[in-house]
Amino acid sequence: MVQFFQQLINGVSIGSVYSLMAVGYSLVYSIMNFSNFAHGGVIMVGSYIGFYLLTSAKVPFPAALLGAAAGAGVLAIIVERIAYSPLRHRSAPFLYFIISAMGASMFIENFVVATIGPTFKTYPAVFSRWPIEIGPFYIGRIDVLIFVSAAMCLLGLVYFIDRTKLGKAVQATSFNHRAASLMGVNTGFVITLVFAIGGLLAGIAGVLFGMKYTVYPQMGAITIKSFIAAVFGGLGSLPGAVIGSLLLGIIETLVSGYFSSQYRDLISFTLLIAVLIFRPIGLMGKVTEEKA
């Protein structure tokens, strides 16, 4: 029983990182109706920015976290302007958006390999690595930081979406671009805002993931897991993305702890296939009709 709850704690930690990544996917999907596969590259760049701010610039951790979030947010806007905006203005098929997203992801990854190098980098020990002991359980300080940071970011996002005028504009645009535009909503600005928010969360997720594990150019591939979590919870649903991420993190950790880490990815992709077959809308997704 002690091992089970210990694995549960570890699963919530990695699931919190997945949730920050998955929310970016869901935000873009709710507005653009396609999956932004370049999101992984933004997360990777945010992780590198945080690493160099801590090691080379010697800034405090809060400043490094904010700097990484800001840098990733700017990169997300640049990707939207270069890779997606021209297609959007020409009303290109969504397949073109997916191809462009994959191309942007490969460009970012290879650009980092060519400029920084392919070697792995380890974050400095910002916090004590000695875990917090609560009875028979041990909780890493980085795990506490991950959970608290993810919870604060997601609560702030929910407040923004539900309680502010810009959040209402995002909801209106996600429901119907044309109707929102006719009601005076600047849909172009809303799309840019959504990419910026997704980039900010991606930068924070990149720093937290890099601190828990390591930083390398291919780390953006981890967003495949956040994509699975978003599909599991329901693409376009922010609560679904969070719940799906936490469940996926817990399932992966339990599988690794009780069986083998070799089965972790197998279970993840099996779960994705099962969801797509038996419940394509996910746990909290809604059935929507195609809009003319």
Question: At residue 63, does pLDDT exceed 50?
Answer: yes
How confident is the model over 107-130, as a mean pLDDT?
A: 91
For 180-200, what is each residue's pLDDT tens digit?
998 899 999 999 999 999 999
pLDDT at 117: 94
pLDDT of residue 1 exceeding 90, the answer is no
Given this model, what pLDDT does residue 287 score? 53
Phi/psi at 219 (nearest 5 deg)? Answer: -65, -15
At 177, the pLDDT band (50, 70, 90 cuts) reads confident
* pLDDT at residue 214, rounded to an integer: 92
Give dist(CA 123, CA 244) in Å, integer. Answer: 28
- How far is Cα 107 from Cα 245, in angstroms, rounded to an integer? 27
Distances from the Cα of 154 to the Cα of 129, 157, 276, 277, angstroms: 26, 5, 26, 29
Average pLDDT over residues 257-280: 85
Mean pLDDT of the chain: 88
Side chain identity, residue 95: L
- DSSP letter assigned to residue 121: B
Decide which of 58 and 32 is more confident: 58
What's the confidence (pLDDT) of residue 24?
A: 82
Query: Residue range 81-95: average pLDDT?
Result: 91
Domains detected in the chain: 2-117+132-278 (1.10.3470)
Residue-wise burial string across 116-150, b where 16 or more C-beta atoms lie within 10 A, e elsewhere: beeeeeebeebeeeeeeeeeeeebbebbebbbebb
Question: Which region among 16-20, 103-107, 203-207, 263-267 has the lowest average model confidence (pLDDT)?
Answer: 263-267
pLDDT at 107: 96
Give DSSP secondary structure letters for 139-190. Answer: E-HHHHHHHHHHHHHHHHHHHHHHHSHHHHHHHHHHH-HHHHHHTT--HHHH
How far is it, in rounded angstroms, from Cα 34 to Cα 50? 28
pLDDT of 286: 58
The reported pTM is 0.90
